[in-house]
Chain A
């Protein structure tokens, strides 16, 4: 154990001092509160890159006061807390008062496998002594220390689950590979993430006690100070650290004092209803927030040397506890549609630009005739003539937003490819090694699992004439199961008819499509786009990985004319059929963006009926998943045709507004008063 301490010591020698971090007071406070009382439940730090997230966490670890541990205990039990003893300490209660040790800082790397996190059989012991022993994993190492997960949003969901589970219960229960073991695992869980790389699931978010958001400072002076300090640290780390040692020690001392005083700090009963009210008014699901606010307020009071927690403390910690738990309220019933529905303002550019203004003067330049595919059939000149009279417009792309997560379900099929949307098993030797299995597939040997499987029998198999220490029989062989995310093929079928142009709906629709494209870009999908208007459907973009191209085409897409929905579906189906022939294991996702008001048929029947029967036929291909985005504006007269189409396709049905990802993390600070 002391070895490990030394290891952390060596690496933490060049840690930027906690006290020298400029600004980021909230982050520092959240970390300190957790250091005082680990039951606050950890902290998740979200923020853009380069905002001292990791620096803060590592800095804290370096200044934490020393703790007493039972000498030689693998789990670093507290000699003064016999109720939390591990199995070893219970069986053989420690004789002396224990030894002092630094608080352990354990890094959980993204490459960690499950057995290394939980612990498993010790194969060295198994092979050499023929005994079945538990080898502690990272959770054991982090007992009474800090478990730090950098880029927690990139870690396997399943691992995050296990870790949060353990952190909440304080006990790690291991049942695997013939080992049954449990040990205490009280740890401060700290995660950092950059939301640009994708978000954590809400269930996981909720498990973190506190959550804070960090931003870069907009204050020139602070920025200058920060630069200077960082450069000083990089050039002269020893001198720099020495300059801040006193301040660091002061914080360490305060934390130690607060820890000691914490049991004596009272929580006035009359403040409890207030907390509940606070949680209720922010639409918080569950009761975890209430409990955490109370604990954090107590810790804060202790930190400030107060005898009891007050309003002030509650207010201060509430923002951190509520930030990630606030559910969006149910959307209010839409008001009668104004002539142009107000869209949320663009994020950065504050210029009051009218996003959905029609620009008739631009259309002529933007739409040279040759970009339009020629109309092969001029059967009904009359209809065409009428269509041509219909004004064509090019609408600007409306506001974009973050879209909900959608993906194909995970299955057991093997695929090749890369990307980030759906999980899949893979036969190439790529992807994350998730577990091992007995039966053979390929030559991807899981050596560790194989040796572990063989370990218990080594005593019996040993022969004096062999130079090998481990004897492996065919039945021990285990293979790796690897999993990776791959991108999907997304086909956009876009309604570009005149009805879409009404009241700026097209701007909003384009905004929605652009958002979907953006999402596709982040997840490394392939996309294709079909649009339909007038009498026909066109392939605007054959399957490609260049999302930029799709974005450009979308910007230039004109709108106008009638709605040949069934032609659009048919064209889309043609592309899909070809794509599936080329890549039979792929599972395309089709996104139909329309209001469903079909009014031109391919054949003789009613356009709507025809489109619906087309849709039903398309569902026979089981590999395709459909999504329908309804662009019809909610109003007094609504036809709900897109919903019918969705039903016929067996599709997920969304209104544009519903596509938006649940913005769980919102700035609540303003609202807490």
Chain B
């Protein structure tokens, strides 16, 4: 790990929902991401950037342009531009390294060709060959793709992002290159709702959604100031001080990942999930599926192997805010159980 570069995740004061949403996504990448909505200066970006420090390690072929796991996609390796790596994979054993999952940042001003990849200029001019130069989506495979101010992203970039996020494959058909490579990533976005909302289809791609606000307790605010000042004065020392806390978090995450496959859920509780979604009114079935996954992940994180009712309630609070059918221009609701209560009353 690289101490001293980022503010430690464990040292963030409050904002438990946000931290929980991020941790759940680390434990179970099939939750497909989290959208963090909140005003300026509420540690949104800090949390995501510091996530890198608590991420578990994965096995990757060394220097692989596409972050492939050993033996993941031999066909892709055959067409790979990295000749050295290609030879190693195809003849005998490639070098495997273990490294932390990466957080790749997609800047708001990114152009389409940088996102999906493009024609390799050097190869084209020097050798007269068409080669694919991978873009940000290739780098984000098996990692976390972080979009700050996701609501300000250019529309056509959103389109290509949707395209890849849907199936976990990035297909490129442009500028004379025809290529496709795996791109399964956890999408993490932060946004300030004051600057406009997200498009519905993109909204749906985020598994969870958390709303955060600045803390209202004086002692919390004081704690934030104190910690921040300590961090800025001596980042190395600050991170060392929090090392133990971070380490414990990483261990919890690793254990939860191991426990997840054993988590069971009672069929009665599945009914509860389904009726929850029907009560509040969501489009499609992704809401159900995400609640189920979130509830199981929660149970695993809390060292249990059976899902209980509380898990589902909390999971619904995380998975449904952005999925509830809204009246035009209505704001995203914050309290899901309240919505459920009201809609139930309304239907009577």
A residues engaging B (CB < 8 A)? 3, 6-7, 9-11, 47-52, 54, 58, 107-113, 115-117, 120, 123-124, 127-128, 138, 150-151, 154, 194, 196-197, 216-218, 220, 223-224, 226-228, 230-231, 234-235, 348-349, 351, 400, 418-420, 429-433, 446-448, 451-452, 458, 467-470, 472, 484-485, 514, 517-518, 521-522, 524, 545-548, 551
Contacts and interface: CB of A to CB of B under 8 A. Distances in A.
Contact of B155 (A124, A234, A349, A418): A418
A111 B285 contact: no
Task: Kindly list the 10 A-B residue pairs having the minimum CB-CB distance in the complex, ordered from nearest.
Answer: A50-B284, A50-B286, A469-B128, A127-B128, A223-B274, A48-B283, A112-B173, A448-B175, A116-B173, A49-B204
Given A110-B160, A197-B199, A220 B274 contact: yes
Contacts of A9: 75
Contact of A469 (B30, B125, B176): B125
Contacts of B170: 109
A420 B178 CA distance: 28
12 contacts: A7-B180, A50-B283, A110-B163, A111-B163, A128-B128, A151-B163, A227-B285, A348-B281, A430-B154, A451-B125, A469-B129, A517-B329
Interface in B257-309: 261, 267, 270-271, 273-275, 277-278, 281-289, 292-293, 296
Contact of A154 (B74, B127, B159, B173): B159
B97 interface: no
Given A109-B163, A224-B270, A231 B293 contact: yes
B75 A6 contact: yes
Nearest to B203: A49
A429 B113 CA distance: 10
B33 interface: no
A430 B288 CA distance: 37
A49 B78 CA distance: 36
A431 B169 CA distance: 22
Contacts of B333: none
Interface in B160-177: 160, 162-163, 166-167, 169-176
Nearest to B118: A447
Contacts of B278: 218, 220, 223
A115 to B, nearest CB: 7
Contact of A227 (B30, B126, B155, B274): B274
Looking at chain B's contact residues, is the secondary structure mostly helix, strand, loop, or mixed? helix
Nearest to B171: A109
A514 B196 CA distance: 17
B163 A194 contact: no
Contacts of A138: 173, 178
A349 B261 CA distance: 41
A230 B289 contact: yes
A321 B156 CA distance: 31
B116 interface: yes
A69 B247 CA distance: 58
B285 A348 contact: no
B163 A150 contact: yes
Contact of A349 (B73, B167, B346): B346
B230 interface: no
Contacts of B285: 50-52, 216-217, 223, 226-227, 230
Given A107-B180, A348-B325, A431-B156, A216 B174 contact: no
B340 interface: no
B309 to A, nearest CB: 16
A521 B126 contact: no
A157 to B, nearest CB: 14
B176 A448 contact: yes
Contact of B126 (A109, A468, A514): A468
Interface string B313-348: 000000000000101110100000000000000100
Nearest to A554: B329
